[in-house]
Amino acid sequence: MLDNKDLIRELKIEGISDKNILRAIEKVPRELFVAQKLIDRAYENIPLPIDCGQTISQPYVVAYMISCLKLKKTDKVLEIGTGTGYQTAILSYLCKEVCTIEIYNKLLDQAKKRILKLNLKNINFILGNGTEGWNAKVLFDAIIVSAASEIIPDKLLKNLKNHGCLIMPKKKSLDIQKLLLIKKSNETYLEKELCSVKFVPLLNDNIE
């Protein structure tokens, strides 16, 4: 069975070189964030199914998306799609504060319990529709969206600080998604297409 060190080795081979990100991943036990029946596969570099028809992302994709944001220890980050809380936990080691939104109550409750076990104190959780963003008056240095959408939600762009970055998968056609990095420069948004990805769709209806 693979362990976290095996995963770190593979991420280095795949081109993840940021030592802070690799250290953060090493501190987060992925087996805590997968279903009991999938624990033997926790450190494989693959996405795995979770409750509510969602997935825990492939570790390489998590690491790559975070690396594109070039986070600083003083940054405040907004995460759309808490999921299991795995990416949330990694982010918490890399910045000052993480605010995370999850649309499924069941997933949010599970994520909170896992984060509690890791004793991470700089995370704020909200149950809600990620396309609505956080409180309109709160601005973030970086925003990471863990689900694909055909449009970039306007309210998320409004949550972005000047010179801040947003990364998200954008749905281009039925089977094609591209990872998009958006940098805010005054009131201009500069978009850069990065690579092909596959994510669950970004939900924009409130779920009971």
Query: Angle 48-58-189 (CA atoms, 0-180°, nearest 5)?
Result: 130
On whether the CB atoms of residues 95 and 76 are closer than 8 A, the answer is yes
On whether the CB atoms of residues 33 and 86 are closer than 8 A, the answer is yes
User: How many CA atoms within 13 Å lie on the side-chain side of 55?
Assistant: 16
| C-alpha separations of 10 from 46, 59, 60 in Å | 11, 10, 9
User: What DSSP character marks residue 53?
Assistant: G
Q: Which of 169, 167, 173, 155 is nearest to 201 (CA)?
A: 169
Q: Among this protein's residues, is 149 annotated catalytic?
A: no
Query: Angle 8-9-13 (CA atoms, 0-180°, nearest 5)?
Result: 115
Q: Which of 57, 92, 146, 149 is catalytic?
A: 57
Distance CA 104, CA 86 (A): 16
Residues with a known catalytic role: 57
